[in-house]
A and B are shown apart, each in its own frame.
Chain A
């Protein structure tokens, strides 16, 4: 939505892997490759959208970037500085934060709005006096359009949209540079969704925030993002600016995904030539050899099952992981 302030990356991710150990029976564990070798940058002041089917690893990417999960391997560079030690992580925690999907379950019903918003301030000891704390809370509430009278009320007394505002105010408490928004509007009714989406845009303009924006609704992601990354089964398959991914996707999976979006316009919807995808997404415990998409790809050839396609820059700023991308497009 807003323009990127400059072309310097705030976050650089290099060959990031996050595997989970899964018990698969007696004394046996196997690695579930939730995120398997992804590399990308997020520019200062930009919104990077992250899309892909359920279980493809979006949340895991977001949480690993915030060091809520320890990476299995790979490098995360924050504002030019590699995050390696515990001290690095702690510095990062004061700059980067998360907005959750579900405003209903992520707020403690027994805490007042004021205490919920002030919790990060308490944790990071970001005030000297009670008065300072109170002022900061009221300032944050005003930022997200909450009435100051609401400060002493409980979260369960609020509507979904208002609860999401409370959650966002809390995330803003530490003055972050970077926010991972994990399905922040999915639980909201469309009319409320629009209010919250606008607020994300306004906050970004006012505070120069950088977002990783994860959502199922591709039109919402398209609306809010500068660039969009598409994931499939733990891998990134395409990354480019938002317009291009919509108008000219290059990876066979992105093409199918974009063509599956139901457009809220009868003429466009009726004329849409859908690229059908058969079958279900494979389990990350049994990921196919070679290209992760090959079991559902209409263009798969022998090489696709033998060799994992590299995530290559096909044209300037347009990354695709497909062996056949040139001949197919």
Chain B
């Protein structure tokens, strides 16, 4: 049994303009001690996936179907009381802006201790010692002094480290990081990512790393999920996703970023406009922007197809190339006939 098992999760926002299906039937597992990256276009449902796991959705948002199991325990419809025990304790989340998690009117020390007192049965003195220990762990110098400081007295990188200290104080099994370094400079980002990696190894926790930076994914992640329009279009080990992408959106994404090989050349952008979740096409959601789209893509959404043990993708191109290479053969019809390839 995986640490986290998500099955056919649907999360929607009910707005004046209609139902926004922000997460539209996603399934994945997260194993203990692994780092899972989630990438995808802005608005593809990465954050909503994270908020669904934590059940911290906006009031108009609701999990409308599917299951989220943590250590075998169902979280969907488990009630606010259960979730309060999970949040910050078994699963912690950090955001792009550290001030989302920090209260400007309380000292750093007060805030870390509060989280420890809430989630563990440590007394005040023990909580203080633990808070100092955590600040030291995230490389904050003179932690006793910092305990008395307010968030505005710290730099952006230091605040994010404090937030990490707070998130890890109760040794969660899973840390969800939603663009944790997007607002930081590269050298500070490097410090934070190194810190997360070493803590992850030391504490054996799993990380869900949400980012639009493929460099961060390449550096940090064991597994990668690529999302498009609320669905998982591709999933696999980092090597498979980077070196053997099998969904046309992922291929386009890889082609559109500057790398060591594109210097001085034209980039190949993904054409067209991002999807409108209120007007989803019938077939593959990427079909309207896909240069390789076939008739079947416009009519019918591709199911998840297993490429190999480490890799799955939901793209009809895999059927086409499988038929062309002879890997997929159609047996003589003895039941229903099927001819989806061109």
Q: Which chain A residues have a beta carbon within 8 Å of chain B's beta carbons?
A: 1, 53-54, 159, 189-195, 197-198, 201, 216, 218-220, 222-223, 242-243, 256-257, 260-266, 268-270, 272, 274, 276-278, 280-281
Contact = CB atoms under 8 A, between A and B. Distances in A.
B242 A197 contact: no
B126 interface: no
B73 interface: no
A198 B194 contact: no
Contact of A219 (B187, B242, B258): B258
A190 B253 contact: yes
Chain A contact residues: helix, strand, loop or mixed: helix
Interface string B272-304: 011000000000000000000000000000000
B215 A262 contact: yes
A274 B194 CA distance: 10
6 contacts: A159-B273, A190-B212, A193-B256, A197-B258, A216-B185, A280-B157
Given A190-B257, A194-B257, A261-B186, 5 more contacts: A194-B267, A194-B268, A223-B262, A263-B259, A264-B217
A159 B258 contact: no
Contacts of B259: 219, 263-265
Contact of A280 (B158, B186, B217, B218): B158
Contacts of A159: 273-274
Instruction: Identify the interface centre among A194, A216, A242, A277: most chain B CB within 10 Å of its CB.
Output: A194
Interface string B242-281: 1100000000111011111011101111100110000000
Interface in B190-235: 190-191, 193-194, 212-219
**Centre residue among B41, B263, B270, B273 by max chain A CB count within 10 A:** B263
B23 to A, nearest CB: 18
B239 A276 contact: no
B140 to A, nearest CB: 11
B238 interface: yes
B239 A266 contact: yes
A1 B257 contact: no
Contacts of B257: 190, 194, 219, 264
B188 interface: yes
Given A262-B213, A264-B218, A189 B269 contact: no
A-B pairs, top 8 by smallest CB distance, nearest first, are A262-B215, A194-B269, A223-B258, A264-B214, A191-B270, A260-B190, A194-B256, A194-B267
A193 B252 CA distance: 13
A216 B258 contact: no
B267 A269 contact: no
A218 B213 CA distance: 12
Contacts of A216: 185-186
Contact of B258 (A191, A222, A269): A222
Nearest to B219: A269
Nearest to A55: B185
A269 to B, nearest CB: 4
A189 B263 contact: no
Given A263-B260, A264-B259, A280-B188, A194 B270 contact: yes
Nearest to B254: A264
Nearest to A218: B186
Contacts of A192: 269
A282 B178 CA distance: 28
A263 B257 CA distance: 11
A201 to B, nearest CB: 7
A198 B268 CA distance: 9
A269 B218 contact: yes
B115 interface: no
Given A189-B212, A194-B267, A280-B158, A265 B190 contact: no
B86 to A, nearest CB: 31
B216 A198 contact: no
A73 B26 CA distance: 59
A277 B215 contact: no
B308 interface: no
B191 A191 contact: no
B42 A189 contact: yes
B329 to A, nearest CB: 34
B149 interface: no
Given A263-B215, A264-B257, A266-B238, A257 B187 contact: yes
Contacts of B189: 260, 262
A256 B188 CA distance: 11
A302 to B, nearest CB: 24
Contacts of B213: 262, 264
B78 interface: no
